[in-house]
Amino acid sequence: MSSVIVCATDFSDQSASALEWAVAFARREGARVDLVHVVPEPTHDREQLAADAATFEAARLGDARDRLAANATAAAHAAGVTVQPHVLVGDPEVRIVEHARLHGARVIVVGSTARPLLERWVLGSVAERTIRTATCPVIVVPSRERGRPWFSGRSDGSRTTLATLVGLEGADGGPELVRFAADLRRHGRCDVTFLHLYWPTEEYERLGLRGSRNPLEVDPDVVKNLEPRLRGLVDGLPGEGSVRLDIQPAFGAASANLAMAAGDHAYDLVVVGSHQRHGLSRVLEGNVAESLARQAAQVPVACVPVPRTARAGVRVSTTVPRILTVLAPTDLSDIGNAAIPHAYALLRATGGVVELCFVAGEAMSDAARELGPVLAQDSHECRVRVALMQENGLAAADRELELAAEHALLVGMRGEVAKIVQAAFADRANLR
């Protein structure tokens, strides 16, 4: 693991807080700090062209080097760690990320933005743009009064315990977050709380949970379903310190819920996954890491890159996928049935399976009779899988599996219903 921590500064109060955090973290980790300041590319307006541009540029770089060296010396003396100054030229987020990559940095530390809300929304802050492009974790440090220690209040002998909250997203980026937490524990004692937030209405629908339930309280049935998979990620975490898994209901934005959880306890660090979305996907889907980094006013936020190949455990393919199965649910209305020919059309060239699905109440026979005209449509040589389910799904009594015709597979039907649907397929065959 790299022993380099890159800290970016623009000489603002926010950057001063970031540097204090960086050297305190470096002392704990036994690392050095590369203090980086990026000077913009020289402009070429008329006033500057009329003057001696070379002299102006040399003076600008010289001033930046002197200020940076003074800051690095003071920070190194105060914390007892190595701090190396680096003045770079170009776009800040580009050169910061490039320097971190070239030196194999373990993390990048930046201060939270102090720009007006409208300007930040239109242009984005350096911190936010760095989060989107960095290949290593980015720590966003909120502004804090100078001289106030970052890691204090809990100690084990001579070593400070780092209290960390990890916003665990399950299989979607979970392994990257767990690895980052494990790395923190290799360099010192670290108490980790893994927090998984679930949205009650979504989980009730996904699990088919019925009856009266309090969405404001932890639901034992939801926890029973989620916990085994999450335990598989966090159990056996190496290193020193406690490990706790907390599963809680949430409402609204994930970032707001994480910020609230971080404020309820004295955490030293909040860790979240950064999905590094760009363009329209960033506007539509958002980024919890960026949003949380803006909201967390007291606690530093570690934004850990989550590769696209890690999302939901699926490798992203660049080839056009072949569609093999199309699910066509219908409520047997004209609008519901109108989608079924399109399902057939999707498989016209390659063939496949069209799955027709209707969820019925008690009147299973009536539902099967209404499916007759639907099944009589030309299927374009597609096999059709038909599932009629009562409200409690395929767990209905006297489950059976019958092959009613060459192109139909009847799942979970009662015998009477199977005969009716089989007759519908016979009608379709007579129409050909």
Which pLDDT score is estimated for 63?
92
Rounded CA-CA distance 430/251 in Å is 55
Which pLDDT score is estimated for 374?
57
Q: Which candidate, 35, 41, 93, places its Cα nearest to that of 65?
A: 35
Which pLDDT score is estimated for 151?
73
Return the structure tokens found at 234.
């966090």
Parts of the chain belonging to CATH 3.40.50.620: 1-150, 153-318
For 194, residues 6+ apart whose C-beta sits below 8 A from its C-beta are 166, 168, 178, 181, 230, 233, 234, 243, 244, 245, 246
Dihedral class, residue 75 (left if φ above 0, else alpha if ψ from -120 to 50, else beta): alpha
Long-range contacts formed by 278-287: CB under 8 A, 24+ apart: 278/132, 282/132, 286/253, 287/131, 287/132
Which pLDDT score is estimated for 44?
61
Residues of the chain with pLDDT under 70: 1-2, 43-54, 113-124, 152-159, 170-173, 275-297, 308-322, 350-351, 360-432
Residue with tokens 């007892």: 80
Rounded CA-CA distance 259/248 in Å is 14
Which pLDDT score is estimated for 384?
52
Residue 172 CA from chain centroid, whole number = 7
Which pLDDT score is estimated for 261?
81
Which pLDDT score is estimated for 150?
80
Q: Considering the entire predicted model, what is its pTM? A: 0.66
State whether residue 21 is helix, strand or coil: helix
* CATH number for the domain whose boundaries are 1-150: 3.40.50.620
Rounded CA-CA distance 82/3 in Å is 11
Task: Measure Cα distances from 96 to 76, 110, 131 in Å.
Answer: 20, 10, 11
Which pLDDT score is estimated for 173?
62
Specify whether domain 153-318 bears CATH 3.20.20.140.
no
Which pLDDT score is estimated for 153?
47
Which pLDDT score is estimated for 417?
47
Which pLDDT score is estimated for 33?
97
pLDDT digits (tens, 9 = 90+) for 75-97: 999 999 999 999 999 999 899 99
For 237, how many CA atoms within 13 A lie in the half-sphere containing its CB?
Answer: 31
